[in-house]
Every structure is written in structure tokens, then in C-alpha cells.
């Protein structure tokens, strides 16, 4: 929160030197229903991205105060504001870190060629202010940790398959979405197309696994439980280390008026215990964000296609925790 003033300072350009205009305007006729729970854009200050619209949004005091565009194509999947104000994000073709005044301070590019050399990146995480963990989808996929100040590659490890079978060479895109480095120094990986969440130790020995149809994201809570978003089944499930379900939320748990047009891909668990789900919507229809209480009461519905695009990931900026300390952020 202390960094937000830097995004509206006089030296912040409306359009940065590395920005590329993103196509937009296709939701300008979308209608926001009246009487939605919560306070609309004023509910939370937040950093917000969606995979179908390559324009990220910073929201504060109920309005968009800063944007960053990366041109046509796909897709934003992961985003973080660090405690120094820099923003780390993935753009499928690359992962990058930018400053509030829109300078690119670090970038890793994937190989966009076709065939077996094709690679993509859909997840990233800061580890301190100088290191970034990310997973490169490819043949084989690799988990990497790079020092963004020195350029040194500290970890470059082939990721094992979840079931012992080779990765499908025709589905590099679907290999991985979320990956997280935990407070215990382990790696928690969501195998989107292999129907598993797997936790590895630092030497990539499997120490925990959970089979689930289409895990887009998994986050580790401070209590040791894992919250997994299953996109295909439109459910989010919290499981304990024994694999027992302790909480589950389905689209059908929502009142019909607030149900998603497209299933959530990720969620964030707030310090209050509430959970915020993100949805890509349906071309300007349906809610983008829904916040529910632990007892599944709806606290907030955001459906604002005039100010924002679709939602894949959100960082709630007034929630406590230091983002670059593993385990301190629940998104």
C-alpha cells in the first residue's frame, strides 16, 4: 500500500516505452447489474489481470489508477506487486519485472518456435527481491530460479511427469499453470493436463500429491492445507496434508444471479478467511470476481466490464503479508 503513490507520480508516463497497445473496447456495451453485494471497485485495492486481455490494471480508491499494456495475443496468468513497488508477471511468451514508471528491469523470453522447441511460461513467484521462480512448459518442462540482478540461473531442473508417463508433445500449452515455492522450501506444482497437484522437495523427490481433474492453481496456506482450483469441474477445494477435504466451493453454491459464466482459474485466501475467486467471464457477461465467507455467504461480486477485462489473477494489496517472502502471500 505504501508504494501506490508511485504509480500516480508526475513522472509515470501514460504509455511506457516498452508498452504495446492492447486491443480493447469489445466490452464497452456491457451492463453492470444493480444491487451487487459489496462496494464494486472500492471493495479492495488490487492488482488485476486476465488471460484474454493483455492490459493489467491497478485499482485503488474505487478507480483504475494505472495500467500497463503488452499488445495483442495471449496471455496473463500470474502477477505480483513486490514490496519495492515493482510488478512481476507472466505473459505466456515471457516473464518480466517492471517498475511503477513502466521501465523493464528484467525479462526472460521463451522459445516461440513450433514443434519440440516450443516453450511457454504461465507462472512466476518472487523469492526475495532479487530472485524469481518460474516453470517453463516444454519438452521437457523445467523449473527455474533466476537471480534478476546478476542473471545467474540458480536452479534449472527438469520437472518429472506426475504419473510416470511422458508429457504429451502436442500439449505443451496445458502442462502447468500455477507453481508455488512454499515456506518450507518445497515446490507445489499444478499439472493442469495431467490431473495432479504434486509437491516436491528441493531435490525433486515427491513428498505429497493430490489427484484432481483439472488443477489450474494450488496455494499452500499457513495451516498446511492446500487450496486447489479445478477449472474443469468449476470447484475450489481445500484439502489437508492427508488429502481430506476440509472445505469446498462449487459454482452451484452461488445464488444463480451471481454464478460464473466461465469457471474460476485461481483464487486468493484473505487473512479474514474469505476467499476471492477469479473468472474470465464470457465476453462481457457474468462476474469477474466473487468473494465469499468461510460459511459460503457472498460478500462481494465485481462485474465491471467497462473498467476492467476478464480476471485470471488478482493480488489484494491491503491484505497483510510480504509478497516476496514465500508463505506470506496466499495468492
Note whether residue 168 is domain-resident: yes
Separation of alpha carbons 111 and 58, rounded Å: 29
Is residue 104 domain-resident?
Answer: yes
Q: Are 123 and 134 in contact (CB under 8 A)?
A: yes
98-109 residue pLDDT tens: 999 999 999 999
**Local structure of residue 92 (DSSP, 8 states):** B
The answer to whether the beta carbons of residues 192 and 176 sit under 8 Å apart is yes
Residue 34 Ramachandran class (φ > 0 left, ψ -120 to 50 alpha, else beta):
beta
pLDDT at 281: 85
Helix (H, G, I), strand (E, B) or coil at 85: coil
Distance CA(272)–CA(294), nearest Å, equals: 9
CATH number, domain containing residue 254: 2.130.10.10
Q: For residue 331, tell me if it sits in a domain.
A: no
Q: Are 310 and 280 in contact (CB under 8 A)?
A: yes
Helix, strand, coil percent values for the chain (each to nearest 5): 5, 40, 55
Average confidence score pLDDT of the chain = 95
Residue partners of 2: CB distance under 8 A and separation at least 6: none
Beta strands in 172-297 (DSSP E): 176-181, 187-191, 196-200, 206-211, 215-220, 226-230, 235-239, 245-250, 267-269, 275-278, 289-292
pLDDT of residue 25: 62
Tell me whether residue 132 is in a domain.
yes
Q: Is residue 325 part of a domain?
A: no
Whether 322 is covered by a domain: the verdict is no
What does the pLDDT look like over 128-153, one tens digit per residue? Answer: 999 999 999 999 999 999 999 999 99
Cα–Cα distances (Å) from 226 to 39, 165, 266, 327, in that order, read 29, 25, 13, 12
End-to-end CA separation in angstroms for the chain: 16
Is the pLDDT score of 212 beyond 80?
A: yes
Q: Does some domain include residue 37? A: yes
Q: Mean per-residue pLDDT for 87-111?
A: 97
User: Confidence class of residue 29 from pLDDT cuts 50, 70 and 90?
Assistant: confident
Return the higher-pLDDT residue of 113 and 300. Answer: 300
Report the distance separating Cα 45 and Cα 204, nearest Å. Answer: 37
Residue 193 lies in a domain: yes
Residues 6 or more apart whose CB falls under 8 angstroms from that of 281 comprise 260, 261, 262, 287, 288, 305, 310, 311
**Beta-bridge partner residues of 58:** 47, 66
Q: Check residue 117 and give its pLDDT.
A: 86
DSSP code, position 20: B
- Mean per-residue pLDDT for 256-282? 95
At which residue does the C-alpha cell 486447489 appear? 228
Q: What does the block give as the cell for 38?
A: 459489496
Q: What's the CA gap between 24 and 44, in Å, rounded?
A: 24
Residue 101 sits in which domain range?
A: 4-316
Residue 115: which residues within 8 A CB-CB, separation 6 or more?
none
pLDDT for 115: 66
**165 has pLDDT over 80:** yes
* Confidence tier at 112 by pLDDT (50, 70, 90): confident
pTM of the model: 0.97
Cβ count within 10 A of residue 218: 27
Binning pLDDT at 50, 70 and 90, where does residue 285 land?
confident
Indicate the number of domains in the chain. 1
Mention every residue, 6+ apart, whose C-beta is less than 8 A from residue 83.
3, 129, 322, 323, 324
Amino acid at each position: 500500500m505504501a508504494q501506490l503513490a508511485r504509480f500516480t507520480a508526475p513522472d509515470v508516463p501514460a504509455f511506457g516505452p516498452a508498452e504495446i497497445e492492447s486491443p480493447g473496447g469489445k466490452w464497452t456495451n456491457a451492463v453492470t447489474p444493480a444491487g451487487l453485494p459489496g462496494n464494486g471497485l472500492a471493495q479492495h485495492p488490487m492488482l488485476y489481470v486476465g488471460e484474454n486481455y493483455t492490459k493489467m490494471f491497478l485499482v485503488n480508491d474505487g478507480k483504475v489508477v494505472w495500467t500497463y499494456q503488452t499488445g495483442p495475443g495471449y496471455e496473463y496468468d500470474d502477477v505480483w506487486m513486490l514490496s519495492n513497488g515493482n510488478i512481476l508477471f507472466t505473459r505466456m511468451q515471457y516473464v518480466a519485472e517492471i517498475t511503477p514508471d513502466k521501465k523493464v528491469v528484467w525479462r526472460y523470453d521463451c522459445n516461440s518456435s513450433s514443434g519440440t522447441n516450443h516453450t511457454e511460461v504461465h507462472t512466476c513467484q518472487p523469492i526475495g527481491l532479487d530472485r524469481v521462480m518460474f516453470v517453463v512448459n516444454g519438452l521437457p518442462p523445467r523449473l527455474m530460479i533466476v537471480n534478476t540482478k546478476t542473471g545467474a540461473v540458480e536452479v534449472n531442473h527438469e520437472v518429472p511427469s506426475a504419473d510416470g508417463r511422458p508429457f504429451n508433445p502436442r500439449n505443451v500449452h496445458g502442462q502447468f499453470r500455477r507453481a508455488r515455492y512454499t515456506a518450507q522450501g518445497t515446490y507445489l506444482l499444478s499439472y493442469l493436463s495431467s490431473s495432479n497437484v504434486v509437491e516436491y522437495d528441493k531435490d525433486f523427490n515427491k513428498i505429497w500429491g493430490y489427484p484432481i481433474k483439472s488443477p489450474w492453481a494450488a496455494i499452500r496456506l499457513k495451516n498446511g492445507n492446500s487450496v486447489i482450483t479445478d477449472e474443469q469441474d468449476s470447484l475450489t477445494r481445500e484439502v489437508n496434508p492427508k488429502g481430506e477435504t476440509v472445505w469446498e466451493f462449487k459454482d452451484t453454491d452461488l445464488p444463480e444471479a451471481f454464478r460464473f459464466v466461465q469457471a474460476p482459474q485461481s483464487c486468493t485466501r484473505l487473512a479474514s478467511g474469505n476467499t476471492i475467486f477469479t473468472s474470465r467471464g464470457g465476453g462481457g457477461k457474468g462476474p469477474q470476481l466473487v468473494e465469499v465467507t468461510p460459511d459460503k455467504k457472498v460478500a462481494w461480486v465485481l462485474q465491471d466490464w467497462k473498467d476492467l477485462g476478464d480476471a485470471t489473477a488478482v493480488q489484494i494489496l491491503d491484505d497483510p503479508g510480504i509478497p516476496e517472502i514465500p508463505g506470506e502471500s496466499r495468492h
